[in-house]
Structure 1
Amino acid sequence: MNNQLEQLKSLTTVVADTGDIDAIRRYRPQDATTNPTLLLKAATLPAYQEHVKAALDFGKQQGRGQTDILHHATDKLSVLIGKEILGIIPGRISTEVDARLSFNTRATVDKAQRLIELYESEGISKDRVLIKIASTWEGIRAAQKLEKEGIQTNLTLLFGFAQACACADAGVYLISPFVGRILDWHKKASGRDSYPAAEDPGVLSVSRIFNYYKANNYNTVVMGASFRNTGEILELAGCDRLTISPNLLEELENSTESVERKLDASNPSTNDQQNSMAENAFRWAMNEDAMATEKLAEGIRNFATDQVKLENSLAELIKN
């Protein structure tokens, strides 16, 4: 029997949640996704030092003052790493907009357009790139505008059903509802040490979104993300896509237990009525969902912190 990873690939498109080239070569995912945390790690790897130098040179050529230089350099670095990954995978790379722009629609659109320009300058067409944007109201509006321009988006840091409804209304290409971080919140709130995989709050959240989308014929792709264990992953077998870290990919590769389809787009089960999400309704629903509100804010802060760490590490190289 094939290992669990190969079985899973027959049911779901597997995406590598890493910027590590060696891991991507090993597990042969269809797509890959990065974020500031992953880029910060990647920038320390020997394989990427030429890209770091090229990004710094680009920043110095384009920028005026250190802050501007670093913004240009980090954008270029994310594109160069994305290009390297695209040389290995057959599909698409997700590249994230600076989390500090999460509440600024215009600035998010501008940054996304800039990233696409940088990819195109490297010979990469926009149809191989997804722009990752935090699922704030402002981010969703930016994504709606970008989609109309032919720039497809990946809405990340998605924890609540209201966010999923708003993204579907906006016609975004793909959402990345988180699983493990939802579990983290519920474990802390409930005092429980664990949940069975079938009762995992993160698994239930993604399953609900998937079934709602399929029952209402939304084209938006559902990509489960942020997993804590393989049990969560296997309970979402059949989801459109799953983005998985290398350590969990390895666990799946090392197991030959049977993998069963858990989600079926041809037979969705939902009790949710189709819900068009106006801004006031979105904000109220988020206010009522403490988990989604807290995890969204925390995720934005953490990505912003790692973006600053990346810029600071590049700033040290400029001094040297």
Structure 2
Amino acid sequence: MKDKKLIALGFEGSANKIGVGVVAIDGTILSNPRHTYITPPGQGFLPRETAQHHHQHILPLVKSALETAGVTPDEIDCICYTKGPGMGAPLQVSAVVVRVLSQLWKKPIVGVNHCVAHIEMGRIVTGAVDPVVLYVSGGNTQVIAYSEGRYRIFGETIDIAVGNCLDRFARVLTLSNDPSPGYNIEQLAKKGEKFIELPYVVKGMDISFSGILSFIEATAEEKLKNNECSPADLCFSLQETLFAMLVEITERAMAHCDKKDVLIVGGVGCNERLQKMMQIMCSERGGKLFATDDRYCVDNGAMIAYTGLLEYANGASTPMEESTFTQRFRTDEVLATWREKETAIA
């Protein structure tokens, strides 16, 4: 029993995906099922309906995760869940289920920061050691680097996230939300031939997307009506502009931190065009780009299980009375004790 690897059960439900993962301390992903709440074209997902979706699917996912992993509740060392950030009602679903299972199975709880979980999942899957991290999703856009015990935010959006910008423009074009609006914009952008100039808003290390969204919404209404461009042209132009802005602030952070490698995490990180643009920049600086596919870029339970297990292995757990959730939980609030030990070893 001394050689037994620690195993965690992790729950992720901060937005429209509910996922349950089982992961070992060495990063072996034993199972990682999830289910996505998909709304009709032109519509976003609302908190109440999203929470109802999570209620419906969370217990079947627990059963599937344990069966696929081939483990029993007795073999689980801790139960981890997304404490935040995210949407309140969906976050509540995982928090309640984790509390119940903790009492039924007599297991400790570990509350996990969603953003840090994306980073740790990206690091273990790709093998990136100490990169600058570009975290891009529907709810977050941050440029991050580890320094002195914490993941420091060097730049971020000052309004909406890049994924939210893409999603909302997809609604304007009434693109399907299956598998995701951002993915369907990416596919349409590949057919674009005409570049339409859009606002380019970088403010030092920070970035803004709301004005670009307003501008392209108005442009779409005018130019599509007059057949001056196609929906594909607009998607192509939007992607090129947004991603160029992201590459710029990431490169600036690399220069500031004296790092050569970049890790892209979060749902928008699946975008192949973003990966290509970032890879070109990294190679010009003598560095390397690390990125993953939708199994790990998109929200999933395994990333919560693994990050929670890192915290648990370093002596952290969340008392029952503190196993709450919050819509605002900054990346740099987390003391990354496991990274401190890595630095000491190195």
Larger radius of gyration: 2
Structure number with the higher helix fraction is 1
Calculate the TM-score normalised by the size of structure 1: 0.27
Q: Bigger relative contact order, structure 1 or 2, given CA contacts below 8 A and separation 6+?
A: 2
Q: Which one has a larger percent strand, Structure 1 or Structure 2?
A: 2
